Structure 1
């Protein structure tokens, strides 16, 4: 019954937004309240659940998305984003901009959260679209797919890392095994999906306020060295922090400071300060002009953040209703391969709750007892859970709304593009885990 309620709530949400054209923020809150009432959440607790859901989601994303948008707009208004875009086009050619996006996203996305890497790279994607006239999804979708793959499949991202700790698996070996299929499968889907007929029919316009409309001459743009330095500055801080954390003990005296500057919001804030100076007073732009760029980005982000927050409220209601416990009880008696069971439970939880983090943690708890004595490498169980957790991203996933709003898509088009590619990645990922298992057995490892 709980899964039926989830399904009906999704259909109602689609009806409100597609047929009645209701604003996404309002529709998500209405459906969240409706689900809470049907599931028996007390009247007094519903406002608290909604607030906690919005607060938890916005708390995780507002700083990253907000500051990242400001960095992107400052780079765009100074010509730095165009400088990087022009270099990528010159290096790869107009016909290979998708390859450029995949390579860039995978290199940056290995250690960075999806949201952080997304807001760093997307201004360059927007600029490439404006300069070349290419379809927005033709350029942006490969980037998003590559980032989704890195974020969901591999440590040191939070989901896989948490499961590795639960299964007492080696993070290093998990990353090593996962790279064998994450990179080729992610690149395959990233290059194939924009070519599918139902995706090629979509031609969204660039979102207003997040990209500069000006085309700069070569003399007006900052140097490539400065443009790239500012863009990669948060990447170096975050990636360096992740590597340092894995290389030293917890008692290392420098670890707290390195962890601090490597946190997403702090790294982006430092990058914003660098961008304000490098693309402001250093090149003769007033601080007032740079501040106007930041203000413009913040105004454009307001509705995006509201919709993402409402998605968090919807997710919070589903969690409060105990749907994860229902699925855990439902699947506890299934007698199938531990790897397949781990993937399946994570996928079901992802469909029902929208939260990849809840999906991986709950799935890990269900299959943990099966791991002992099964002979399955714990690293492969981590990868199975992680692959399952990316499946079927849809309207109860706040990341879905970020994808929809940035790429200026309707709800149905976002489902066609994102829900399908995340599901394809999950299925291919399961195949990759099984292939690695077979290879390890053949090598008697």
Structure 2
């Protein structure tokens, strides 16, 4: 009965948004209340769960998305994105530009959390799209597939890292196996799959359309790449320094602060204000106007993401994930496949890959230990399952839809299907590795 209620609530959400044309944020609030009542959450607790869900997800994303939008708008407006796109096109050529963005997304995705990588790379994607008149989904989906796979499969991302510790797996081996599985998953779910989506209409947010400039007006190559990729460099440096700062308390605290994603984005924005703004002859009032326009364009995205967080928390607080996991635990299946399946179903119900992974861990661990299942592969199986079935209760679904300005139907055809493809390929890779090692 619980699963039926969840499915009906998700169906209601889709009807409100697509058929009745109700604003997605308002639809999330309505469905969250309906779900809370039907799933048995005390009436006086429903509002609190919704507020907690919105606060949790926006607390971790609001600075990243707003500051990232400001950085992206400046990168686009200053001509830095145009310069980066030109350099990439020179290296890979228009014929192989997909592979260029995939490599970029994969390298950036390893150290960066998904939300930061998404916001950071959007201006680059749109710059290539507008300059070379290429389909937005054809160019954007491969890079985002790379970001998503690294988020779900590879340490040091939150869910795989926590699973490695919980299962007493080997971080290095998990990373190595994860890389072997991630590459084919990205290739199939990214460049190959996106070739079937060239006809999907997409008009990305106007804020990231780069202003075409003559060559002599563009920032230098080093300045463009350095400023756009500074968040990546800072996070990598913070990770390296943290390895050597454990015995120096003062340095450890500084590294811990500077290495926080929110602080990294603020440092990057301050640097960009100088390197792509003031040092390029722009007035501060002009730069602030750019930032103001960027925030206006992402305000609705923040509201929708907050709404998805409210629904996710209702589903978590109702105990849906635990109930479904217990139902699936009694099925007699190969442990790796069962771990993947439990994570996939929980992901479908609650929308969070991290929640799906961590919830599955507690259910599958006794079975894994009893059967002697390879813990490194179990981390990856659960990670692959946690990427499955992204839909309207997933904040990533809405970020993709709103940034690329897609219809709900086309978001399912592109983003949701891509996530399920990489999750399925990941499972196949895990099962093949299990036969070899």
Report the more deviating stretch, 184-193 or 16-25.
184-193
| Superposition CA RMSD, Å | 1.4
- 1:352 aligns to 2:352 (yes or no): no
Q: Which among 370, 388, 392 is matched to residue 389 of structure 2? A: 392
- 1:334 aligns to 2:340 (yes or no): no
- 1:150 aligns to 2:150 (yes or no): yes
Q: Is the 8 A contact 1:347 1:390 kept in 2?
A: yes
**Match in the other structure for 1:443:** none
Distance 1:146 1:282 in 2: 34
* Aligned CA distance change for structure 1 residues 434 and 255 (closer, same or farther; 3 Å): farther
The alpha carbon displacement at 1:250 in A equals 4.8
Q: Is the 8 A contact 1:125 1:140 kept in 2?
A: yes
**Match in the other structure for 2:129:** 129
**Match in the other structure for 2:219:** 222
Distance 2:101 2:154 in 1: 19
* Equivalence map 1:9-408=2 (5 Å): 9-196=9-196, 199-212=197-210, 214-245=211-242, 247-248=243-244, 250-251=246-247, 253=249, 254-408=251-405
CA offset digits 1:240-259 (Å, max 9, x no partner): 333444x4585453333223
Q: Is the 8 A contact 1:209 1:299 kept in 2?
A: no
The alpha carbon displacement at 1:334 in A equals 2.6
The alpha carbon displacement at 1:302 in A equals 0.4
Count of residues in correspondence between the two structures: 436
Distance 1:242 1:380 in 2: 25
The alpha carbon displacement at 1:389 in A equals 0.4
Q: Is the 8 A contact 1:36 1:321 kept in 2?
A: yes
Q: Structure 1 unaligned runs (5+)?
A: 441-445
For the residue of structure 1 that corresponds to 2:398, the secondary structure is helix
Distance 1:95 1:371 in 2: 46
TM-score, normalised to structure 1's length? 0.95
The alpha carbon displacement at 1:168 in A equals 1.1
Q: Is the 8 A contact 2:257 2:263 kept in 1?
A: yes
Q: Is the 8 A contact 1:346 1:389 kept in 2?
A: yes
Report the more deviating stretch, 182-191 or 353-362.
182-191
The alpha carbon displacement at 1:335 in A equals 2.8
The alpha carbon displacement at 1:149 in A equals 0.9
For the residue of structure 2 that corresponds to 1:391, the secondary structure is coil
Distance 1:425 1:333 in 2: 27
Distance 1:307 1:373 in 2: 43
TM-score, normalised to structure 2's length? 0.97
CA offset digits 1:26-80 (Å, max 9, x no partner): 1111111111111122222121111111111111111111111111111111111
For the residue of structure 1 that corresponds to 2:217, the secondary structure is coil
Distance 1:375 1:88 in 2: 47
Q: Is the 8 A contact 1:31 1:314 kept in 2?
A: yes
Distance 1:427 1:249 in 2: 40
* Aligned CA distance change for structure 1 residues 339 and 252 (closer, same or farther; 3 Å): farther
Distance 2:256 2:376 in 1: 25
Distance 1:323 1:248 in 2: 43
Q: Is the 8 A contact 2:130 2:209 kept in 1?
A: no
For the residue of structure 2 that corresponds to 1:384, the secondary structure is helix
The alpha carbon displacement at 1:99 in A equals 1.0
Report the more deviating stretch, 255-264 or 74-83.
255-264
CA offset digits 1:291-344 (Å, max 9, x no partner): 111111111110010001101111111111110121132123233222111111
Distance 1:5 1:250 in 2: 49
CA offset digits 1:108-135 (Å, max 9, x no partner): 1111111111111110111111111111
